[in-house]
Amino acid sequence: MPDNPGEASAVVVDQVVRVFTPRRQPPVRALDNVSLTIDPGEVHGLLGPNGAGKTTLVKILSTVLLPTSGRATICGYDVVRATRQVQPLIGIVFGGERGLYTRLTARQNLEYWGALYRLPGAQVRPRANALLERVGLADKAEKRVETYSRGMKQRLHLARGLMGDARVLFLDEPTTGMDPLAARDFRRLVGELKGEGRTILLATHDMVEAETVCDRVTLIDHGRIIATETPRSLSQMMSRFQRVDVEGADTALLDEVRAIAGVMGVETEDASARIQVDTEDALRAVLKLVVDRGITAVQTSLPSLEEVYVGLIGDRGLEV
Amino acid sequence: MRHPARTLRIMRYAFLSGAQDYASIYTWKSWLGGWFVRVLSQVVFFALIGKLLRSDQQTWYLLVGNAVMLAAMEGIWALNLVNWERDSGTLQLLAASPSNPVVVFAARGSYLIADGLASSLGALLVVGLLFRLPLPWPRVLLVIPLTLLVGASGYCFGTFLAGILIRARNLNGIVSNVGIITFMTLCGVNVPLAAYPAPVAFVAKFVPLTHGLVAIRDVLAGNLGPVAGQAGLEAAVGLAWLGLCLVTFGRFVRHGRRDGSLEFAN
Amino acid sequence: MVRGVLAGVRLQLILYRQYPDSFIPLMTAPLYTIIFVMIVRHGGRADLSGYAVVAPAFISLWWFALFHGGLVVNSDRWSQTLELHVAAPTSFPAVIFGRILTVTLVGQLSFVEVWLVGKYLLRTPIAIQHPGVLTATLLATAFAMAATALFMACLFVLVRNAFTMTNSISYPFYVLGGILVPVALLPGFVQPVSRLVFLSWSADLLRASLSAAPVADVGFRLAMIVLLGAAGFAVAADLMRRVVQRVRNTGELGLR
């Protein structure tokens, strides 16, 4: 299906607002003047904590939900006014346990959706087979979905989203609840899809995932966009708030640590100390120092999403 | 029963929790407007056949049979208890607890007996008035304890079925529906046992409802002699199924623990 | 559109295979037949056996419309595939229609079943005196039944707790629909209400097709069934629109 001529972006979101009015409760502004663009072939991360509005935005873009105001286009087609043209272009991969017919086999699920995505009859089975192979479910294809593990269901979700050969894919927290190995495999698949020229919007609350997979990352919280960053700057932000926890360091050593450039602070409690560092260099210097002095109980950890947000807002004087 | 006081306490709590669950499904309005309308319609449906046959005797026979049937029906719904527990994830907890699961089940679902009694007597009264069923006073009061007996007896049978269904959760709906209609067919609800082939009539004597219904019909007809005997038989049948349940339930739970069917396997 | 309908048909057939509970009505119909036939025989009116055999078919039919139909959209809601359907290029109503069509056609098996039970199990062969009327009645009934099923499908997902009321809308309709005892024997004030239920027209016509006497007003009575069916479809179509609207406008009915 041809794009609207002259439209360079795959996804355009323009001042979208979405208000929910639940029964007997005050209205909720799930999305507040959200704007962003995604280039064709880009893997774009949508990073935010639970309740930030990620799923709401994904639903609007996938024509499931109408925006209260504002505009959104997929390959130049308006999601509200040109829904018919948008739907064949997109693939939806919602996460979790639901969204599949559990008493059907994987193959039956895929063939059903293949028909609904208007695949010519002769293509339905071959494509289902190819996708099952691709996501590694070929040998379990005849088993009922209710027997599947979380990771397997997630892979089936991805296969389902691809049955229509979507140009633009929406992935909503696809690796939640997956074990690290399965999550890594999944991300590899996402990379392959990018290589095929598909545009991908990945909604997640996992910073590491956003940093590893995406070309750009938009941070969202309480329905508002905070910033759009490259993974590199995201990574720098994360290292800004890294910390090193050590055991058994004496006061003299800790004074030396404090003197290192880039060390923001040292908190002590009994024999433990938490060292806050600002840069990768500082981190390396601290580690080298404590290890050289014979300290072996050393642990580093990354900041939480909240800490990164707070830091970001503090930095830029942004209001949230 | 080694600790009767403790057992009673367990039963009291179990009954209260069951009653609470039940109260959250129905309010007075929805019970009357929803459930009670249905039970009245059920009895009316069958009573009307008597009108088709142009016989008051037939009308009253069908009316009484189907009204009393309601008590047994609700009692037999005890068979759903296992699935209700399984769905809330409490079945495996129950199996792991030191209390005898039968005791807990029996108490938890016993609101069904009370509801069945209310439905049954209410239908008898209301539909009875509509069809001018003779309700001879004061002996008609005997119908109340007899109906309670039928409900309790059905409940014992239902609890036994609940045990069997621990391992066959898929069959729950089938057993429930087909089971109830089978009772409706065989226990003298719509036609007397004599109308059936002898082997069928024989089997019917060993399930709940059959004897209790005969007792109730005798009361209404003024034939009080055999009532005590039939009531005794109904009680015996109920206790026998309860006994069978107590004996087998534990085994089903153990099997369930072994093959994992106690879990919320959805 | 057609592909959507076919996809719905195929899905419903697979679901029928996977859920044995679906066939409960076909299991209980023979029992009901036994009950009703025994009642009329014991009452000395074996000539009413036709009535007794036909009634269980309507009980089954109603179950199919109520439960299977009623579950069609709601089950999608519970498995959270509803939103996925709204996002797909194929019309959601088309898929639902396909599923309802399957429910209706499988439901028609009820008539075949009771006829077989009557003939072979109870030795009560039912002579079809007016086969044309019978066929037309069955077709019209199937149409009205599909409308009912579609109506239930939408109602159950739009109205909170509607599904818990399914227990209550069986017997009242057996009485109002005159499926065993003809509406003419009901009290006068009930009869107009009964006439709004398509079952009453269907049951009357079906019984008439089994008796030797000529069938009066066939055209009018068939038209009533079709009319009630069409009205049902119109309401159901509106409800269907509301379902999709509710998903897209309010975000209710969707993923939690």
| Residue B53: alpha-carbon gap to chain centroid | 29
Confidence of residue A90 (pLDDT cuts 50, 70, 90): very high
* High-pLDDT (> 90) share of chain A, %: 50
Conformational region of residue A266, where left means phi above 0, alpha means psi within -120 to 50, and beta covers everything else: beta
Residue C101 Cα, gap to closest chain B Cα (Å): 24
**Hey, are the CB atoms on B34 and C42 less than 8 Å from each other?**
no
The predicted structure's pLDDT at residue B83: 76
Instruction: Name which of C19, C21, C123, C204 to mutate to probe chain B: the one with the most chain B Cβ atoms within 10 A of its Cβ.
Output: C21
Confidence of residue A5 (pLDDT cuts 50, 70, 90): very low
**Hey, are the CB atoms on A62 and C87 less than 8 Å from each other?**
yes
The predicted structure's pLDDT at residue B23: 67
Range with the poorest average pLDDT among B110-114, B151-155, C100-104:
B110-114
CB-nearest to C172 from B38, B174, B177 is B38
Confidence of residue B76 (pLDDT cuts 50, 70, 90): very high
Residue C233 Cα, gap to closest chain A Cα (Å): 23
Average pLDDT rounded to a whole number, residues C97-117: 91
Instruction: Name which of C11, C249, C252 to mutate to probe chain A: the one with the most chain A Cβ atoms within 10 A of its Cβ.
Output: C11
Q: C-alpha distances in angstroms, B203 versus B232, C29, C121?
A: 18, 22, 20
- The residue of chain C with its CA nearest to that of B190 is C39
Average pLDDT rounded to a whole number, residues C79-92: 88
Average pLDDT rounded to a whole number, residues A127-149: 93
Confidence of residue B266 (pLDDT cuts 50, 70, 90): very low
Residue A319 has pLDDT above 80, yes or no: no
Confidence of residue C164 (pLDDT cuts 50, 70, 90): low
Q: Which residue has the higher pLDDT, C27 or B104?
A: C27
Contact C245/A at CB under 8 A: no
A: neighbours with 3+ CB pairs under 8 Å?
A: C
Average pLDDT, chain C: 89
- The residue of chain C with its CA nearest to that of B25 is C164
Q: What is the pTM of this model?
A: 0.83
Q: Which residue has the higher pLDDT, C18 or A235?
A: C18
User: Concatenated DSSP letters for chain B?
Assistant: ---HHHHHHHHHHHHHHHHHHHHHH--HHHIIIIIIHHHHHHHHHHHHHHHHTT-HHHHHHHHHHHHHHHHHHHHHGGGGHHHHHHHTT-HHHHHHSSS-HHHHHHHHTTHHHHHHHHHHHHHHHHHHHHTT----TTGGGGHHHHHHHHHHHHHHHHHHHHHHTTS-GGGHHHHHHHHHHHHHHHSSSSS-GGGS-HHHHHHHTTSTTHHHHHHHHHHHHT--TTHHHHHHHHHHHHHHHHHHHHHHHHHHHHHHHHHTTTS---
Confidence of residue A25 (pLDDT cuts 50, 70, 90): confident
The predicted structure's pLDDT at residue C127: 84
Q: In what order do the strands lie in the sheet with A90-94?
A: A90-94, A168-172, A199-204, A43-47, A216-221, A224-229
The predicted structure's pLDDT at residue A1: 41
Conformational region of residue C215, where left means phi above 0, alpha means psi within -120 to 50, and beta covers everything else: beta
Average pLDDT rounded to a whole number, residues C189-216: 92
Residues of C in Cβ contact (< 8 Å) with A65? 247-248, 251, 254
Task: Answer yes or no: is the ipTM higher than 0.85.
Answer: yes
**Hey, are the CB atoms on C88 and A64 less than 8 Å from each other?**
no
Residue B251 has pLDDT above 80, yes or no: no
* High-pLDDT (> 90) share of chain C, %: 61
Average pLDDT rounded to a whole number, residues C101-126: 88
- What would the pLDDT profile of A43-72 be if each residue is shown by its tens digit? 999 999 888 899 999 999 999 999 999 999
Average pLDDT rounded to a whole number, residues B154-167: 89
- Sorted by sequence, the CB contacts under 8 Å of residue B194 that are 6+ apart come out as B201
**Hey, are the CB atoms on B192 and C42 less than 8 Å from each other?**
yes
Residue A218 in contact with residue A45, Cβ under 8 Å?
Answer: yes
| Residue A43: alpha-carbon gap to chain centroid | 10
Residue A3 has pLDDT above 50, yes or no: no
Average pLDDT rounded to a whole number, residues A162-185: 89
B-C contacts at Cβ under 8 angstroms? 95
The predicted structure's pLDDT at residue A145: 92
Pairwise CA distance, residues C112 & C100, whole Å: 19
Average pLDDT rounded to a whole number, residues A230-245: 81
Residues of C in Cβ contact (< 8 Å) with B184? 31, 35
Residue C154 has pLDDT above 80, yes or no: yes
- What would the pLDDT profile of A207-236 be if each residue is shown by its tens digit? 888 888 899 999 998 999 988 888 888 777
Residues of A in Cβ contact (< 8 Å) with C247? 64-65
Residue C163 has pLDDT above 70, yes or no: no
The predicted structure's pLDDT at residue B24: 66
**Hey, are the CB atoms on B184 and C175 less than 8 Å from each other?**
no
Residue B222 Cα, gap to closest chain C Cα (Å): 23
Q: Which residue has the higher pLDDT, A4 or B106?
A: B106
**Hey, are the CB atoms on A116 and C79 less than 8 Å from each other?**
no
Confidence of residue A318 (pLDDT cuts 50, 70, 90): low
Residue A196 Cα, gap to closest chain C Cα (Å): 22
Element (H or E) spanning C60, and its range? Answer: helix C49-63
Residues of C in Cβ contact (< 8 Å) with A63? 86-87, 248
CB-nearest to A104 from C14, C95, C247 is C14
CB-nearest to C89 from A88, A99, A112 is A88
β-pair partners for A71: A14
**Hey, are the CB atoms on C175 and B48 less than 8 Å from each other?**
yes
Residue B15 has pLDDT above 50, yes or no: yes
Pairwise CA distance, residues B25 & C165, whole Å: 11
Average pLDDT, chain A: 88
**Hey, are the CB atoms on C255 and A66 less than 8 Å from each other?**
no
Residue A4 has pLDDT above 60, yes or no: no
The predicted structure's pLDDT at residue A2: 42
Contact A19/C at CB under 8 A: no
Residue A16 has pLDDT above 90, yes or no: yes
The predicted structure's pLDDT at residue A314: 67
Contact C247/A at CB under 8 A: yes
Residues of C in Cβ contact (< 8 Å) with A59? 83, 251, 254-255
Peptide bond into B134 cis (omega under 30): no
Pairwise CA distance, residues A31 & A70, whole Å: 11
Contact C87/A at CB under 8 A: yes
B: neighbours with 3+ CB pairs under 8 Å?
A: C
**Hey, are the CB atoms on C4 and A116 less than 8 Å from each other?**
yes
The predicted structure's pLDDT at residue A74: 95
The predicted structure's pLDDT at residue B21: 67
**Hey, are the CB atoms on C43 and B58 less than 8 Å from each other?**
yes
φ, ψ for residue B187, nearest 5 deg? -95, 20
Average pLDDT rounded to a whole number, residues A79-85: 93
Pairwise CA distance, residues A294 & A283, whole Å: 17
CB-nearest to B51 from C36, C168, C181 is C181
Contact B194/C at CB under 8 A: no
Residue C169 Cα, gap to closest chain A Cα (Å): 28
Residues of C in Cβ contact (< 8 Å) with B178? 24, 27-28, 31
Residue B53 has pLDDT above 90, yes or no: yes
Judged by CB atoms within 8 Å, which residues 193-232 of C form the interface with A?
none
**Hey, are the CB atoms on C171 and B45 less than 8 Å from each other?**
yes
Residues of B in Cβ contact (< 8 Å) with C165? 34
Residues of A in Cβ contact (< 8 Å) with C254? 59, 64-65
The 8-class DSSP code of residue A241 comes to: T
Residues of A in Cβ contact (< 8 Å) with C15? 101, 103-104
**Hey, are the CB atoms on C31 and B41 less than 8 Å from each other?**
no
**Hey, are the CB atoms on B45 and C165 less than 8 Å from each other?**
no
Residue B265 has pLDDT above 60, yes or no: no
Contact A103/C at CB under 8 A: yes
The predicted structure's pLDDT at residue B84: 75
Q: Which residue has the higher pLDDT, A237 or C175?
A: C175
**Hey, are the CB atoms on C174 and B192 less than 8 Å from each other?**
no
- Sorted by sequence, the CB contacts under 8 Å of residue A285 that are 6+ apart come out as A260, A261, A262
The predicted structure's pLDDT at residue B27: 74
Binding-site residues on chain C for chain B (CB distance < 8 A):
20-21, 24, 27-28, 31-32, 34-36, 38-45, 48, 51, 164-165, 167-172, 174-175, 180-182, 185-186
Residue B186 has pLDDT above 50, yes or no: yes
The predicted structure's pLDDT at residue B33: 79
Range with the poorest average pLDDT among A149-158, B26-35, B237-246, C19-28:
B26-35
Average pLDDT rounded to a whole number, residues B90-113: 74
**Hey, are the CB atoms on C175 and B44 less than 8 Å from each other?**
yes
C: neighbours with 3+ CB pairs under 8 Å?
A: A, B
Residue C70 Cα, gap to closest chain A Cα (Å): 17
Residue B195 Cα, gap to closest chain C Cα (Å): 7
